[in-house]
Amino acid sequence: MSGGVFLAAGAVKTAVESLLASGAWIGERPRVPFGMVGALRDRILAGEEFDATVLSAEAIEQVAERGFVDRASIRPLGTTGMGLAVREGLALPAIETEAGLLEALARAAPAYPIAFGDRWDSPGGGVPGDGAIMIETLLRHPDVPAAVGVLWDPIAVSICRAAGPGSEVWLRIGGKATPVSGTPVDVHATVSAVTDDLVIPFEQSRVSFGPAASVSIGSLDIVLGSKRVQTFSPAAFTSLGIDLARKKMVVVKSSNHFAAAFAKVAADIHYLDSFGPFPHDPTKVTYRRLRRPIAPLDPNPWA
């Protein structure tokens, strides 16, 4: 490959940078924006131009299925791993499976609920807010009581309002706005509550999600709204009858504005990298008209 754009997952950053620095690279040095696998996959599916890419086998299959890469060009390069550290003297948990990792994290949590800001899919960044990857993940773990919201899905809201509370409905949740929204999730859910206008506080203001509904699938509760708004307050859940004290995880569609209000009801607050379209890390964005040098992309832009 000579020059061009090489989209590479962060897991291979050290190897790629060593190759480029070694002088073994043939031809013009390419531009290499590193990023999370899911984010790079979504950028490719959204039509971003590139010349080569290194992704996980699953992500490569997804972009190949849509015709964005030539299957004949795919080559396996290696494997990556992950680990979990514990304090000295503690027994090592079994984390060989996703279920084992979640169980280990649950045992380590001092109290519940834990609030997770889904910052990659925050409507405050101008993105749809209809990514369903965390819903899909939590459905694989029905033993974890959780809540997700507020997800922008006017179509699902209209179905729930027409059916009414207590009804059982089939819904295709999320993934409707753009390719970077990800894949929708098909669920058989119970309509828990509906409202003509879900209004929540934010500092001294009041914010409306428009017509809204909450649905439950086992121990998972999902709040759906008709307007694209960050989830600033626990009232987005409690106004529709969801008791957050009974949840272990609360996934909030917000980048950071949720933290002050949720700190009053959550045992802890964390931030998710769910590979949605909102680029919370400016170093992982592909810029087309940016004048360099500039912080934080360059270590000392004032030199």
Do 115 and 257 fall into the same domain? Answer: yes
Do 134 and 172 fall into the same domain? Answer: yes
- How much of the chain exceeds pLDDT 70, in percent? 87
**Continuous segment of H or E residues that includes residue 261:** helix 259-262
Q: Where in the sequence is the domain holding 23, given as residue range(s)?
A: 6-80
- What is the 8-class DSSP label of residue 239? T
Query: What is the mean predicted confidence (pLDDT) over 109-115?
Result: 78
Query: What is the mean predicted confidence (pLDDT) over 263-278?
Result: 79
Do 122 and 265 fall into the same domain? Answer: yes
- Domain annotation covers residue 278: no
Do 121 and 235 fall into the same domain? Answer: yes
Task: State the pLDDT at residue 99.
Answer: 75
- Domain annotation covers residue 235: yes
**Alpha-carbon span 43 to 281, nearest angstrom:** 15
Query: What is the mean predicted confidence (pLDDT) over 125-144?
Result: 88
pTM: 0.63
What's the domain count of the chain?
Answer: 2
- Domain annotation covers residue 75: yes
Using the predicted structure, report yes or no on whether residue 84 has a pLDDT greater than 70: no
- How much of the chain exceeds pLDDT 90, in percent? 40
Do 119 and 69 fall into the same domain? Answer: no
Average predicted confidence (pLDDT) for the chain: 85
Higher model confidence: residue 106 or residue 9? 9
Using the predicted structure, report yes or no on whether residue 29 has a pLDDT greater than 90: no
- Domain annotation covers residue 254: yes
Do 163 and 233 fall into the same domain? Answer: yes
- Domain annotation covers residue 267: yes
Do 113 and 248 fall into the same domain? Answer: yes
Task: State the pLDDT at residue 3.
Answer: 60
- Domain annotation covers residue 289: no
Which whole-number Å values give the CA distances from 104 to 85, 98, 107, 109, 138, in the listed order? 11, 10, 5, 9, 16
Do 163 and 244 fall into the same domain? Answer: yes
Do 69 and 113 fall into the same domain? Answer: no
Using the predicted structure, report yes or no on whether residue 1 has a pLDDT greater than 70: no
Do 69 and 137 fall into the same domain? Answer: no
Residue 141 CB-density burial (10 A; 0-12 exposed, 13-18 middle, 19+ buried): middle
Could you tell me which of 287, 255, 270, 283 has the C-alpha nearest to residue 121?
A: 255
- Domain annotation covers residue 66: yes
Do 226 and 154 fall into the same domain? Answer: yes
Contact 52, 70 (CB under 8 A): no
pLDDT, one tens digit per residue, over 37-66 is 777 887 888 888 888 888 888 888 888 888
**Alpha-carbon span 280 to 163, nearest angstrom:** 37
pLDDT, one tens digit per residue, over 200-236 is 999 889 999 999 999 999 999 999 999 999 999 999 9
Using the predicted structure, report yes or no on whether residue 2 has a pLDDT greater than 60: no
- Domain annotation covers residue 282: no
Question: 236 φ, ψ to 5°?
Answer: -60, -30
Lowest pLDDT segment from 31-45, 90-104, 165-179, 283-297: 90-104
Do 166 and 234 fall into the same domain? Answer: yes
